[in-house]
Structure 1
């Protein structure tokens, strides 16, 4: 199963984003000779490597913001599943069964689980997907991007989020006695030397661990057992100095300290791509915000979120659904308003990249009494905004995975 997916691994890399896709757009739009994309799909870029990923993030972000996604969009995502439970990035013809040429992977599968579990009503789909993930768990307790591939921090972390979303206890999902947290601890750098406390994506060719900010954001989120749309946590270890990582919580605290230092200079992470060292990495910064907030480093997360509010609108507009979703997750994690994020209504912009939602709900709609007490003017204008979205054309450039993870 590994050789046939090598091309996909090179073109579409692991999560986290988030998380996480840092360069959210590098794929061209489909040429006129290509078949039209499904109307239920978010974005109009080539979905060959990220269709399920960006769809999952879009639906999860809408749910997080209190918007009920269109049924057609949810059905499209669920319908992409293969018979064994796995998800490939994109199946143009779902009447054809998946085979050895179907490039299924752990990241698309885990993201779909998180979205469908949050929306509810798809237990059969998520249960089968969880079963597939368990069947391809590595002996060190982790997961690689593809079945049987060497474990990496990003893939292991997004799977942890999926397991938790599906009601599993990640610490009890074991292979040869090893849990996902064992795999993460094995990818955490010690407190001495360069990159102290960070996570590596994978060991390099010499078997050494090299600090990677993207992997660290993923590792922190995974180590606290949280998913892509995590809210603020209550770790109590925010700002702690690096100490020996003898537990997932300590590894998360160490990683958070590393991210805080990395963000301190300019309020954002920088690109790890060769020749782009001075360029802001908006996607990974958004992932770091979610990770820091989930770990309990809320002040540090808020500072980076404020930078995103001032600077990320153009990036998201160019990058499409997954980018808007990442910013919505960052807003959610820090208590910011995703409908007024640096002057941008992220929810409206995200919604405009896909089919119009069937209805809208308030995220704070806990009781009818609370709803009645809310300012009626807000509800009217919010409804008008959603109606306007239905007439907005879809805009999208590839959302998310074409980033080289390993320095």
Structure 2
């Protein structure tokens, strides 16, 4: 039986973004009165019900990326969230109990955990089971939904591509009914003419039409290049991306088209914008960080300099409010675009991130450019564009990925 969660269920359950991609913002005031005490190994002090595995994965990966060795209990908490079938839910308050039908597992949490644990090393059994589960819920179009049985979307497909690459598998070889993940991904691409030229949609709308979505585009650019959340700029990058229609696009062409859209989107103000229902347009920090990663990986650090500088100047308050996943996104942006996460507009992102959870085993001394410089597969995207806003007694998770017509 196909299961497609209602809009309300998605708003309450979607965890990313990751981003990739969402943007992730951990802004609830704290655990609700009925929540259990937060685990000692968890990063962030807010209610983890909807984003625990996601934010933990991003935090640990960001630490690894800059040479920090995470606390063992933080890694143990993440591995302990896995269900027996290999999947991960956003948060399991009682990991000692077997997962049942009430545990809402999802591809984004699972793929993010895979990418992080693959990067850390020594967790082949956990990642192997998780990848097997991801393959078991692949859709016939070659892509992935957020929850099994739903329609494929760009962000979920992208974060799974990153997971496959992280464990050394070629995404194009993971085929369902003759369709690869790239077949699904490129079906969400807009042509190089008209509104949103070169962009990707999150999903087709009810009429089957595609509308440009900046966060989905950032996720797709990185995934098309076979990368994940924490990639370094490619060796062949450096030229400004141009949008060109070429029939069925190659991964490189689709990535270039998407990057051309993002470059135009940030050209004026240096950032992407978003609007919450009933609110005026405002800067979207998380999606801008994702766009920096995408631009740097596809077109080189120089093409990402303007939005990176904007983030260095303006993102401190957002990251402080939003928590570990936000700090991680900024670390990924700095790493991809040759910035310094230990001096990001005067802010030490690594120190701030480390302070949101258990003290790391070591803080490392390597410069950001020295870590995994030539190892682009061990990264994750996010993406996934999500942010947490206050609700009545509990934080409501809204998916920025579902917004149409971005930026």
For structure 1, which segment, 254-263 or 1-10, has the greater mean C-alpha deviation from structure 2 after superposition?
Answer: 1-10
Distance in 1 (CA, whole Å) between partners of 2:222 and 2:155 is 10
Distance in 1 (CA, whole Å) between partners of 2:305 and 2:238 is 16
Aligned residue pairs total: 379
How far the C-alpha of 1:16 sits from its partner, in A, is 3.5
Normalised TM-score (structure 1): 0.88
Tell me if structure 1 keeps the 8 A contact 2:275–2:281.
no
Could you say if the C-alpha distance between residues 21 and 135 of structure 1 is closer, same or farther in structure 2, counting changes exceeding 3 Å?
same
Could you say if the C-alpha distance between residues 238 and 11 of structure 1 is closer, same or farther in structure 2, counting changes exceeding 3 Å?
farther
Distance in 1 (CA, whole Å) between partners of 2:237 and 2:303 is 14
Higher relative contact order (CA 8 A, sep 6+): 2
Distance in 2 (CA, whole Å) between partners of 1:230 and 1:131 is 24
How far the C-alpha of 1:137 sits from its partner, in A, is 0.5
Distance in 2 (CA, whole Å) between partners of 1:234 and 1:273 is 38
For structure 1, which segment, 221-230 or 356-365, has the greater mean C-alpha deviation from structure 2 after superposition?
Answer: 356-365
How far the C-alpha of 1:51 sits from its partner, in A, is 0.2
How far the C-alpha of 1:14 sits from its partner, in A, is 6.0
Which residue is 1:31 aligned to? Answer: 32
Which residue is 2:94 aligned to? Answer: 93
Tell me if structure 2 keeps the 8 A contact 1:114–1:161.
yes
The residue matched to 1:53 in structure 2 has which SS? Answer: helix
Which residue is 1:320 aligned to? Answer: 323
Distance in 2 (CA, whole Å) between partners of 1:113 and 1:323 is 19
1:6-405 correspondence to structure 2 within 5 Å:
6=6, 8-13=9-14, 15-22=16-23, 24-236=25-237, 238-245=239-246, 246-363=249-366, 402-405=398-401
The residue matched to 1:315 in structure 2 has which SS? Answer: helix
Tell me if structure 2 keeps the 8 A contact 1:18–1:287.
yes
Deviation readout 1:255-290 (Å, 9 max, x if unpaired): 000000000110000014334453000000000001
Distance in 1 (CA, whole Å) between partners of 2:148 and 2:50 is 16
Higher helix fraction: Structure 1 or Structure 2?
1
Tell me if structure 2 keeps the 8 A contact 1:4–1:103.
no
Normalised TM-score (structure 2): 0.88
Could you say if the C-alpha distance between residues 158 and 37 of structure 1 is closer, same or farther in structure 2, counting changes exceeding 3 Å?
same
- Provide the aligned C-alpha RMSD in A: 2.3
Distance in 2 (CA, whole Å) between partners of 1:402 and 1:31 is 18
Tell me if structure 1 keeps the 8 A contact 2:154–2:202.
yes
How far the C-alpha of 1:300 sits from its partner, in A, is 2.0
Distance in 2 (CA, whole Å) between partners of 1:327 and 1:285 is 9
How far the C-alpha of 1:8 sits from its partner, in A, is 4.2
For structure 1, which segment, 147-156 or 30-39, has the greater mean C-alpha deviation from structure 2 after superposition?
Answer: 30-39
Could you say if the C-alpha distance between residues 11 and 238 of structure 1 is closer, same or farther in structure 2, counting changes exceeding 3 Å?
farther
Tell me if structure 1 keeps the 8 A contact 2:54–2:90.
yes
Tell me if structure 2 keeps the 8 A contact 1:56–1:77.
yes
Tell me if structure 2 keeps the 8 A contact 1:8–1:103.
no
